Amino acid sequence: MGWASVSSPLSFSRLSRLLTRALVGSKLYPQSAAEAAAGVVPVDYAQPSDTGTTRSSRYVAGNSWDYRHDQRLFEMFLSKNGAVFNGTTDDGPAIAAALNAMTGLGGYRRQVIFPSGGLTAKINSGFTILTGAIGVDFNGLKIDASGITAGNVLSIDQASSAAYNPDSSATPVKNLYLLGNQVAGNTPTMLSIDGVTNSVNNVAFANIHIIGGQVGIDLVSNLWLLMFENVTLHAQLQYGVQFTGTTNCGESISWRGGAVGNVTNAAKTGTALYFPQPAANSNNQLNFVAEGASFDGCDQVLELGQGTADFFGCNFEGIAGTGAVFAVSEPTTGPQAQLTVLGGSIDNIAGPASILSISGGERASAVIDCDIELWNNPITVVERAGYCTVSLNLKRVYFGGATAAGYPSIGEYIAANYNGNFELGSTVGWSESGANITFVAQTGTVHSGTYAGLLTATSGATGGAQINGLACKAGDVVTADVWAYATALSAGSVSLQIDFLDALGNQIENVQLKAWAAADTGWNRYTSRSGAPAGTQQIVLKLYAAGASGTVAIDDAYIHIG
Does any domain span residue 196? no
Same domain (yes/no): 330, 375: yes
What local confidence, expressed as pLDDT, does residue 30 receive? 55
Does any domain span residue 487? yes
Number of H helices, E strands in the chain: 5, 35
> Which among 354, 378, 413 is the end of a domain?
413
Q: 393, 420 in Cβ contact below 8 A? A: no
Q: What DSSP character marks residue 284?
A: -
Does any domain span residue 73? no
What local confidence, expressed as pLDDT, does residue 340 receive? 97
CATH of residue 489's domain is 2.60.120.260
d(CA 275, CA 290): 14
Q: Is 183 exposed, middle or buried (0-12, 13-18, 19+ CB in 10 A)?
A: exposed
Does any domain span residue 198? no
Nearest to 285 by CA among 229, 247, 312: 247
C-beta pairs of 503-512 under 8 Å, 24+ apart in sequence? 503/537, 505/469, 505/538, 508/533, 508/534, 508/535, 508/536, 509/533, 511/478
What local confidence, expressed as pLDDT, does residue 79 receive? 87
What local confidence, expressed as pLDDT, does residue 23 receive? 42
Instruction: Give the count of domains, the chain.
Output: 3
Same domain (yes/no): 477, 554: yes
Tell me the three state secondary structure of residue 55.
coil
Same domain (yes/no): 409, 485: no
First to last CA, the chain: 99
Does any domain span residue 86? no
What local confidence, expressed as pLDDT, does residue 491 receive? 93
Same domain (yes/no): 367, 496: no
Same domain (yes/no): 387, 452: no
**Is the pLDDT reported for residue 273 higher than 60?**
yes
Pick the more confident residue, 316 or 46: 316
pLDDT in tens, 237-254: 999 999 988 888 888 999
d(CA 5, CA 459): 126
Does any domain span residue 202? no
> Which among 384, 413, 442 is the end of a domain?
413
Does any domain span residue 300? yes
Same domain (yes/no): 479, 512: yes
Of the ranges 10-24, 97-111, 155-169, 486-500, which one carries the lowest mean pLDDT score?
A: 10-24
d(CA 373, CA 348): 7
Pick the more confident residue, 165 or 406: 165
Cα–Cα separations (whole angstroms), residue 168 to 22, 137, 164: 35, 13, 9
d(CA 259, CA 174): 16
Same domain (yes/no): 522, 463: yes
Give the H/E segment covering residue 96: helix 92-103
Full domain range(s) for residue 443:
430-561
Give me the phi and psi of 22, to 5 degrees please. Answer: -65, -30
Same domain (yes/no): 408, 436: no
Cα–Cα separations (whole angstroms), residue 24 to 18, 20, 289, 394: 10, 6, 51, 74
Same domain (yes/no): 254, 357: yes
Nearest to 66 by CA among 164, 133, 166, 137: 166
**How large a percentage of the chain has pLDDT more than 90?**
51
Instruction: Reduce the secondary structure of 179-239 to three states and give it as a string.
Output: EECCCCCCCCEEEEEECCCCCEEEEEEEEEEEECCCEEEEEEECEEEEEEEEEEEECCCCE
Task: Look over the chain and give the mean of its residue pLDDT values, rounded to a whole number.
Answer: 82
Same domain (yes/no): 486, 407: no
> Which among 12, 27, 60 is the end of a domain?
60
Same domain (yes/no): 397, 439: no
Does any domain span residue 229? no
Tell me the three state secondary structure of residue 446.
coil
Nearest to 390 by CA among 348, 346, 341: 341
Give the H/E segment covering residue 312: strand 307-312
Task: Return the number of other C-beta atoms located less than 10 Å from residue 51's C-beta.
Answer: 7
Q: What's the rounded mean pLDDT across residues 527-545?
A: 91
Q: What's the rounded mean pLDDT across residues 37-53?
A: 46
pLDDT in tens, 11-36: 444 444 444 444 443 344 455 666 56
Same domain (yes/no): 407, 470: no
pLDDT tier, 301 (very low <50, low <70, confident <90, very high otherwise):
very high
pLDDT in tens, 192-224: 999 887 888 889 999 999 999 999 999 998 888
pLDDT tier, 49 (very low <50, low <70, confident <90, very high otherwise):
very low
User: What is the DSSP code string of 375-409?
Assistant: -S---EEEEEESS-EEEE-GGGEE-TT--TTT--B
